[in-house]
Amino acid sequence: MRSPLALRHLPKALLLALSPAVLVACNQTSTTPQAATEPSKALEETLQILYSFEGKDIPTDAELIWAQASLTQADASEGVQALKIKMDSAANAYTAVTFRPDTPWDWSEFQDFSLAMEMANRGEVSTQIYLDIEDIDNNVYTRTVNVPVGGKKTYYAKMNGHDLATPNGDENIELNFASGLRSNPVTWESDSIQFVSMWGKKNLNLNGIRRITFSVQTALRDKEITIDNLRLIANPPQNEAFLNKIVDKFGQNAKDDFVGKIHSEEEMHAQRDAELKTLSGGKKLSDRSRFSGWTAGPKLEATGFFRTEKVDGKWALVTPDGYLYFATGIDIIRLSNSTTMTGYDFDQSLIQQRSADDTTPEDSMGLNTVPMRAVPSRHVTSKNPC
């Protein structure tokens, strides 16, 4: 969904898509060295300091939305001070700090570089941070990272070079890396943590960067982080094999270790047997059918197939035996139809139809929007979509 403040040119909020979770392992740092690359000290090469937070006052170009800022000596990375941000996120769906210089930053002289900073979290729970960078053409690139409870760590977001290419150099394709992945694995090995790509223009206009925003969105608790040494750094040499052997034979992230990861067929069989034992030991609810349908509810025709059907004017899921059931699962597994609204339809004669032999993935076609000529034909087809 989009941020309710989007119309005020604030960051776009979360849009879920099929994420290469097996590739980036939810922002975990790598535990297995990648080939042909050693941890690089080039990350320490600073190109430009944006904010050191060493002055007596908070930077005047810092804008706060449902947040409070103060200078602190805790978790300072360079010098003696860092910026502490307390987010009133329990009561507000969107809280943020934005750095907006009077004159947009001109970073056009730099190549192969990233935006870096130290962040720490002294709160009680981890904090998911959204990073939005906007250029003078109103393009925004959104990324995110989870900051665990604990002391400062270095985080970075690439601004130019390495894997920020677009397919065939087409800058109009904003949602794809040259790899075709939504967010790539790291392109060099280090202890620093890469922000995960979400959406937006990956190659921003470096002649003018208008703002940098750190936000917390739709959180159940208040959050607190410290930020220090916001700067530009030179990217280390790229590991050209960063996309090689990234998935193991079990379909998992081959570059990272994590709780529950399968390392052998013996482990897989042991987990399977443990799960089956747990399931067989559980008791089925008394009002559930063999497919977990609601036996105390309406009984429809038993067609032998799972299906959808309207019951009392509302859509329902129906088991092969004709009982209603409720299911949860992954939703919105692609970006291509992100503008679709369930319950509406259009005059299909005004929409170009795909041929049966067209195998082009929709995610390779950009946003699948309704053409303007079809918009006037929009009509409600279901007031109670399932």
In a domain, 145, yes or no: yes
In a domain, 59, yes or no: yes
In a domain, 86, yes or no: yes
- Measure the CA dihedral 370/376/382/386, to 10°: 30
Is 0.85 surpassed by the pTM of this model? no
Per-residue confidence in pLDDT tens, the chain, 386 aa:
333 333 333 333 333 333 333 333 333 333 333 333 344 444 568 999 999 999 999 999 999 999 999 999 989 988 899 999 999 999 998 999 999 999 999 999 999 999 999 999 988 899 999 999 999 999 999 999 999 999 999 999 999 998 887 766 666 665 567 787 878 889 998 999 999 999 888 889 999 999 999 999 989 899 999 999 999 999 999 988 898 999 999 999 888 888 899 999 999 999 998 888 887 666 778 899 999 999 999 999 999 999 999 999 888 999 999 999 988 765 555 544 444 555 678 898 998 888 888 887 766 666 667 788 988 888 887 665 43
Look up tokens 């990648």; give the residue: 34
What confidence score (pLDDT) does residue 331 get? 58
Start-to-end C-alpha separation, the chain: 18
Q: How many CB atoms lie within 10 A of CB 376?
A: 10
Contact call for residues 338 and 369 (beta carbons, < 8 A): no
Domain containing residue 190: CATH number: 2.60.120.430
What confidence score (pLDDT) does residue 264 get? 96
Over residues 54-68, the pLDDT tens digits come to 999 999 999 999 999
DSSP class of 360: -
Over residues 318-341, the pLDDT tens digits come to 999 999 998 876 555 554 444 455
Instruction: Tell me the pairing of strands 150-160 and 193-194.
Output: parallel
Distances (CA, A) of 200 to 121, 143, 193, 374: 27, 9, 20, 26
Q: What is the DSSP string of 114-129?
A: EEEEEEEE-SSS-EEE
In a domain, 195, yes or no: yes
Which residue range forms the structural domain that includes residue 10? 6-234
In a domain, 383, yes or no: no
In a domain, 364, yes or no: no
d(CA 95, CA 64): 8
What 3-state DSSP class applies to 196? strand
In a domain, 140, yes or no: yes
What confidence score (pLDDT) does residue 229 get? 95
Q: Where are the alpha helices (DSSP H) in the chain?
A: 21-24, 265-281
In a domain, 297, yes or no: no
Instruction: Give the total number of structural domains in the chain.
Output: 1
Phi/psi region, residue 262 (left: phi>0; alpha: psi -120 to 50; beta: rest), is beta
d(CA 270, CA 257): 18
Q: What is the sign, positive or negative, of the torsion defined by CA atoms of 162, 167, 170, 176?
A: negative
